Amino acid sequence: MKQKQSRPGETGFSRRGFLKGVGGAVGAAAVVSRVLEAPGLARADEITREGIRRVPAEGLEITLHVNGEERPVTVRPDQTLLEVLREQLGLTGTKEICDRGACGGCTVLLDGRSINSCLMLAVDAAGHEVRTVEGLVQDGRLDPVQQAFVDSDACQCGYCIPGFVVRSRALLDEFPNATPQQIRDGLAGNICRCAAYARIFEAVQTAAAGGNG
Amino acid sequence: MQPFNYLIADTLDAALAEYAENRPVLKAGGIDLVDRMKERLATPAVVLSLGEVEVLRYIEPEGEGVRLGCLTTLADIGRSELLNSRYAALAESAGHAATPQVRERATLGGNLCQRPRCWYFRAIHFHCLKKGGATCFAVEGENQYHAVLGGGPCHIVHPSNCAPPLVAMEALFVVRRAGAEERVIPAREFFVLPSSALDRENVLAPGEILTEVRIPRAPDQSATIELREKQSFDWPLAMASVARVDGRRWNVCLGAVAPVPWVSEEAAEVLGSADITPELAARAGEAAAQAAQPMSDNGYKTQLIKVAVKRALLKAAGQEVPA
Amino acid sequence: MTWRPDNRLALENDGSRVDVRDKVTGAARYTTDYYPEGLLWASYIRCPYGKAFLRSSKLEAARAAPGVVEVELEKQEGTYPGDRLGHICAESRQALEQGLAALALEFERDRPATDIEREKKPLETFDEDPSVQEKQADLERIFSEAAHTLERTYQTQVQTHSCLEPHNSLVDYRGDHATARQSTQATFSVRNELTEVLGLPPDKVEMHCEHVGGGFGSKFGLSPEGQLAGKLSKKHGRPVRVLMNREEEHLDNGLRPGSLQYMKLAIGPDGKLLGGRIHTWGSVGPVGGGGGTSNPSRYNFGIVAKTHQDVNLNSGFPRAMRAPGHPQGMFAVEMMMDELAEAAGMDPLEFRRLNETSDVRRAMLDVGAEQIGWHRRKPSGTWEGPLKRGFGIGVADWGNSPGEATITIHVYPNGNVEVLSGSQDIGTGFRTLLVDCVAHQLGIDRARVEAKVGVSTYPPGPGSGGSVTSRFVAPKALGAAEQARQDLRQRVAREWGVPADEVAAENGVFKHADRTMSWNEACKLIGQDRLTVTEKENGIFWKEQTGSEAVQFVEVEVDVETGIVRVKKVVALQNVGQAVNRKTVENQITGGVIQWISFALFEDRILNRQTGAMVNPNLEFYKIAGSRDIPEIVPIIWQSRPDAGVNSLGEPPVVPTPGAVGCAVANAIGVPVRRMPITPWRVLSALAERDGGAV
């Protein structure tokens, strides 16, 4: 569910106040201001317009809702959700593989839908519910999809598997009784280089058949 | 990515005003832009996000047609019962574009306005014609995925797979600009060839935002065929969308074979408003491929055009075609 | 012998791999997943072109960029795309990227050598070779006596490993010791090379690779990533990470070389191969070699004069890739076998049986033919309609010799068992193999056994290459467990005051007359902290090996109007000697089949001929088979002899696939596509050529 109060740019951080607080980002600001002073272009921090929120290049503290928790993080606009999940929130289950939306390794749930976190800016995730592979485990109990992957030995090296698991969760939420064809179509955005597909299909099919709620 | 300032618009009016006045780079789902920023092909100082303008996300029947907001995702389109039942050519195309994950974020507007996927354009170390260089590397280089129609001096293929069905269905693109009346552009006039503009692929003027796609009248029949090397995530080698609107003549639009969604007048000529027979469909396919001018490695696309058109017509006519 | 479904499980073990839970929850941490305090990021500065000279760079601007720690350029000339000209190191990944951009490299380009056909020496050059000359008389005789002689050339493309965990290294040098993490398939070779870079003895460098996201042959040795991370960590006294991005992964982290394979072979009136002339060219890096192909191979070819040339191109360097030289060699071999069979008017299956060198494979051919329904195969090109079915066969085998490894097991008084090996699990199921061997031999539940692997302080073991890990290690794991079992048996006997050889120890229970003792009770008798056994000999658990024979049957459907190929079904028979774990074995067989369907149909490292830059260094246009490209696969674990030991599995299942796919396509469409990948472009071209046109 949307959390309107935590949308980026609404928390009233001033650029200078922000800079004071976060020393590490000062350098980046210097680079940006040069670019911003290009002729004919207003400096971003001078823009004030009703209906426009601003996230300065140096970043802003926002709250991300990840795996049911509120996680305050300072993010720059150029940081992807993937980068922030891994580097700042320590959620390294989500993997960077192609970094261009072609492999599905970085798949997370955004308000229940599966998306590529490598192509999503972290600031855009504010106000949305993010769930990663770690967050599918509830009270130490595996999600039925995870359990099915375990039972079917649905992996080899395992690097792609968090992406497959999360995508499969979304797939089964949409098609609880997914057919073999729906499973194949639904996993077409994930790549497993070891090619454990036979096992993966079996796992998702088992979860679909066995009440995967 | 080069650091940038990020503006998030909450209303369309604010976005239009900001866009017209300060010329930030526009972002919807970000699928294409973030990719280009990672490749450093785009290093904008300011990016304006339309993503939160929820009012631009809708699929609304109107009269005998339908209106789609430009922020409608490809997944929305693929899931829409209305579109699947009456605008099959579009629903199938959007519903099979890219990957399931990409479709959740990719928007209709972004799909229509994305930059080409040409492998020379997409790599910073090819200073190609489209990026202000002197050479289209496809001419003497690896061109198996490049244009066989309408190419020159640049030989990209248009990457949108929503565009061909929309062109075939005689859609209208609604364009807004701050302080101006909305501009309504027929889909087939929206895209421009490299021979008239190298730095863009459509007619949008500075400050203009594509806000809506209107299909004034549901087609009597429509279908799309996409032919891919790989059946999982892959770009089509060739595609054909066909539609017959209001009992009038057939429209045939090709994708992935020309720098724009390519309207085949030759095929339309052959078809007229006739009912489809296998023989007629095959003749239309031959006609569509007639003007093809392949380069060294993409001659096979000529054959694919013939098949895609033939099968799209047969499919639109309710006949079974190889999947 | 006849294959029966119920003889597959020597160890009757059907458990999932032991680390699967960690992998599906994200708990398994790979090298990429560690972000230590004070981490520095480093990367190479690369030339994107095939042959280019660095004309200018803004070195000072890059050094002055915020967060950049150092930038060094060591050379100006790039001789392959991705060539390393220098390096950059920064406080963060973002600073690293900004620093690289600030460097603003500009190159003067030269025309690169990208095409093996253009750069190779002509065939005639090699006819002068003494090895050919000495067989000249035989060849002349063979060709004059032949019932049929065919002359064909086949071509295979460059394949990149495309490990999903990129090559990456994290070295933390702390003066008198260092800890390293690297995504590797050879823990000890990384540790050893690192000692040289760091100037530390082996006991002061601890290397970790508990989880590895694939290697496929490209992750041996310290490699450029470890070299740089080690050097900079020593220099700065901080942890340093070198992490390849996807483009670097394609350019400079190994590849399977491309090949051109010329074959002129003769068969006698009975259909037996008489021999002939074979020459192969392999495309390799700008210097050095490594482009060999295993052609001829497997069949009884008669007298063959074989020569080979490595053709140096402005291309990345080959690295061993899952059966180096074999899948591409067997593509040409199997295609030629089918073309020869066609010439002789023989069924390809019969033709293979006739020229087969292995009785094991001959039996596998019969079973495979039955399983795929070979009788459904029609003469080439005779299917009606645009969708045509075709069938093909591919074969392989693998040598199985013993090798060194050491295994330690600890049995704790609470009954839990640890088995330790420094070797690594790159996704093959090595952990699982250890657990299953030990649990089996001790007769206890596998849940009681934990495998600890991939740390250099654990006992030494092999790198994951040459398909050796299972066969080197399994005898020692079984032997160590057996020693522990005997030790406990003696303790129980002492406790009961009976002779040890009168105590039975089966299924983890100790028995004498009417007395029994459970595993847990017996383990309480362990006097010290734990019972530790180390085994480095093969002992009685090394059993005579078989040849890891593989036979695959492939059924395809080809749309001759579009040239699109779909593999419908694969029957993959694989002799693994003694199968330790059914699931991991089947998983690896089917995975190998899919990976090499992907090679046969899609994958292609494409260099731009003008600049030498790679046009598809991504996972968008470097196309890897996905979920919608996967056929039905029937893995059949073959056991040719009941007393066989644990055999090789990593490589043999990938060898037959491309050839079988190629043969099936040719059978479907009635004309061979002699060049991989078999894309619509190539299929339509082959059809057009046959019909006298061109596409």
Amino acid at C55: R
Q: Are residues C673 and C557 in the same domain?
A: yes
Read off the pTM: 0.95
Give the model's pLDDT for residue A27. 32
Is C579 inside a domain boundary? yes
Query: Is the pLDDT reported for residue A212 higher than 80?
Result: no
Helix H or strand E encompassing C481: helix C469-496
Residue C245 structure tokens: 């991005």
What is the predicted ipTM?
Answer: 0.97
Q: Which residues sit opposite B117 in a β-bridge? A: none
Helix H or strand E encompassing C519: helix C519-523
Q: For tokens 């129980």, what's the residue?
A: C492
- Of A186, A131, A192, the C-alpha closest to A160 is A192
CB B252, CB B288: distance < 8 Å: yes
Give the model's pLDDT for residue C640. 87
Of C20, C163, C216, the CB nearest to A155: C20
Is C453 inside a domain boundary? yes
Provide, rounded to the nearest whole percent, the portion of chain B with pLDDT above 70: 100
Is C176 inside a domain boundary? no
Per the structure, the complete domain to which residue C111 belongs is given by 38-128
- Of C349, C393, C429, the C-alpha closest to C573 is C393
Return the partners of chain C (3 or more C-beta pairs < 8 Å).
A, B
What average pLDDT does the segment B242-258 reach?
A: 96
Contacts of A80 (CB under 8 A, 6+ apart): A117, A118, A119, A120, A121, A122, B34
Residue C216: list chain A partners with CB under 8 A.
193
Domain CATH code at residue A160: 1.10.150.120
Q: Are residues A125 and A174 in the same domain?
A: no
Three-state DSSP at C582 gives helix
Q: Are residues C375 and C421 in the same domain?
A: no
Contacts of B295 (CB under 8 A, 6+ apart): B138, B139, B143, B146, B148, B151, B155
Domain CATH code at residue C299: 3.30.365.10
Q: Are residues A85 and A181 in the same domain?
A: no
Residue B140: list chain C partners with CB under 8 A.
609-610
C88 vs C85: CA distance, rounded Å: 10
C305 vs C127: CA distance, rounded Å: 9
Of C48, C563, C621, the CB nearest to B119: C621
The gap from C-alpha C601 to its chain's centroid, in whole angstroms, comes to: 18
Of B6, B23, B100, the CB nearest to A189: B100
Of A142, A153, A188, the CB nearest to C626: A188
Per the structure, the complete domain to which residue A175 belongs is given by 144-209
The gap from C-alpha C205 to its chain's centroid, in whole angstroms, comes to: 28
Residue B226: list chain C partners with CB under 8 A.
none
CA dihedral A176, A180, A185, A191 (to 10 degrees): 100
Query: Is the pLDDT reported for residue A40 higher than 60?
Result: no
Is C598 inside a domain boundary? yes
C601 and B CB contact within 8 Å:
yes
Q: Are residues C610 and C663 in the same domain?
A: yes
Give the model's pLDDT for residue C694. 66
B238 vs B303: CA distance, rounded Å: 10
Query: Is the pLDDT reported for residue B18 higher than 60?
Result: yes
Q: How would you list the strands of the sheet with C531-535, edge to edge?
A: C449-453, C417-421, C407-411, C531-535
Q: Which of C483, C514, C541 is the last residue of a domain?
A: C541
C75 and A CB contact within 8 Å:
no
Phi/psi for C235 (5° steps) reads -65, -40
Q: Are residues A106 and A165 in the same domain?
A: no
Residue B305 C-alpha, separation from nearest chain C C-alpha, in angstroms:
9
C62 vs A30: CA distance, rounded Å: 14
Please say whether the dihedral angle defined by the alpha carbons of residues C226, C232, C237 and C243, taken in this order, is positive or negative: negative
Q: Are residues A74 and A118 in the same domain?
A: yes
Q: Are residues A95 and A172 in the same domain?
A: no
Is C631 inside a domain boundary? yes
**Which B-chain residues 54-113 have CB contacts (< 8 A) with chain C?**
none
Please indicate whether, in this complex, the C-beta atoms of A159 and C164 are within 8 angstroms of each other.
Answer: yes
C526 vs A87: CA distance, rounded Å: 45
Residue B68 structure tokens: 């789609």
Q: Are residues A81 and A16 in the same domain?
A: yes
Count how many residues are written for chain B: 323
Residue C212 structure tokens: 């590895």
Mean pLDDT (chain B, rounded): 97
C98 vs A29: CA distance, rounded Å: 12
- Of A210, A130, A203, the C-alpha closest to C23 is A203
For B61-120, give the DSSP string: EETTEEEEETT-BHHHHHH-HHHHHH-HHHHHHHHHSS-HHHHHH-BHHHHHHPPP--TT
C276: left (phi over 0), alpha (psi -120 to 50) or beta: left
Number of domains present in the structure of chain A = 2
Residue range C10-61, pLDDT digits in tens: 456 789 999 999 999 999 999 999 999 999 999 999 999 999 999 999 999 9
Number of H-type helices and E-type strands within chain B:
13, 12
Instruction: Report the chain A residue with the minimal C-alpha distance to residue B79.
Output: A174
Instruction: Report the chain B residue with the minimal C-alpha distance to residue A185.
Output: B232
Q: How confident is the model at residue B267 (pLDDT cuts 50, 70, 90)?
A: very high
Q: Are residues C643 and C683 in the same domain?
A: yes
Q: Are residues A168 and A84 in the same domain?
A: no
Q: Are residues C282 and C302 in the same domain?
A: yes
Domain CATH code at residue A27: 3.10.20.30
Interface test with C, best of A82, A109, A151, A159 (most C CBs within 10 A): A159
What average pLDDT does the segment A2-24 reach?
A: 39
CA–CA distances in Å: residue C28 to residues A207, B176, C19? 22, 50, 8
Q: Which of A111, A136, A161 is the last residue of a domain?
A: A136
Query: Is the pLDDT reported for residue A34 higher than 50?
Result: no
Is C66 inside a domain boundary? yes
Q: Which of C111, C128, C145 is the last residue of a domain?
A: C128
Residue C662 C-alpha, separation from nearest chain B C-alpha, in angstroms:
16
Give the model's pLDDT for residue C8. 32
Of B11, B34, B43, the CB nearest to A121: B34
Give the model's pLDDT for residue B50. 96
Point out the least confidently predicted range of A10-24, B225-239, C34-48, C620-634.
Answer: A10-24
Q: Are residues A149 and A126 in the same domain?
A: no
Q: Are residues C363 and C461 in the same domain?
A: no
Give the model's pLDDT for residue A8. 61
C472 vs B120: CA distance, rounded Å: 48
CB C257, CB C161: distance < 8 Å: no
Q: Are residues A37 and A96 in the same domain?
A: yes
Give the model's pLDDT for residue C645. 87
Q: Which of A77, A101, A136 is the last residue of a domain?
A: A136
Three-state DSSP at A6 gives helix
**Which C-chain residues 76-135 have CB contacts (< 8 A) with chain B?**
94, 97-98, 101
Q: How confident is the model at residue B224 (pLDDT cuts 50, 70, 90)?
A: very high
C642: left (phi over 0), alpha (psi -120 to 50) or beta: alpha
CA dihedral C664, C670, C674, C677 (to 10 degrees): -50
Give the model's pLDDT for residue A211. 57
Of B15, B31, B45, the CB nearest to A119: B31
**Which C-chain residues 323-382 have CB contacts (< 8 A) with chain A?**
none
Q: Which of A136, A168, A188 is the last residue of a domain?
A: A136
Is C220 inside a domain boundary? no
Is C2 inside a domain boundary? no
Give the model's pLDDT for residue A10. 54
Q: What is the mean pLDDT of each run of 10 residues along chain C (695 residues)?
A: 32 85 98 98 98 98 98 98 98 97 97 98 96 97 97 98 98 97 98 98 98 97 98 98 98 97 98 98 98 97 98 97 97 98 98 97 97 97 95 96 96 98 97 95 95 98 94 95 96 97 94 97 95 96 89 98 98 93 94 98 98 98 98 93 87 97 98 98 96 74
Q: How confident is the model at residue A16 (pLDDT cuts 50, 70, 90)?
A: very low
Q: Are residues C553 and C536 in the same domain?
A: no
CB C603, CB C623: distance < 8 Å: yes
Q: Residues of C239-272 as b/e, b for ≥16 C-beta within 10 angstroms?
A: bbbbbbbbbbbbbbbbbbbbbbbbbbbbbeeebe
Please indicate whether, in this complex, the C-beta atoms of A185 and C627 are within 8 angstroms of each other.
Answer: yes
Give the model's pLDDT for residue C2. 30
Q: Are residues A189 and A131 in the same domain?
A: no
User: Residue C413: how many CA atoms within 13 Å on its side-chain side?
Assistant: 7
Amino acid at C570: V
Q: Are residues C454 and C485 in the same domain?
A: yes
Phi/psi for C331 (5° steps) reads -60, -50
Q: Are residues C563 and C685 in the same domain?
A: yes
Three-state DSSP at C58 gives coil
Q: Are residues A43 and A69 in the same domain?
A: yes
Give the model's pLDDT for residue A209. 84
Q: How would you list the strands of the sheet with C509-512, edge to edge?
A: C504-506, C509-512, C515-517
Number of domains present in the structure of chain C = 3
What average pLDDT does the segment A174-188 reach?
A: 97
Helix H or strand E encompassing C534: strand C531-535
CB A62, CB A6: distance < 8 Å: yes
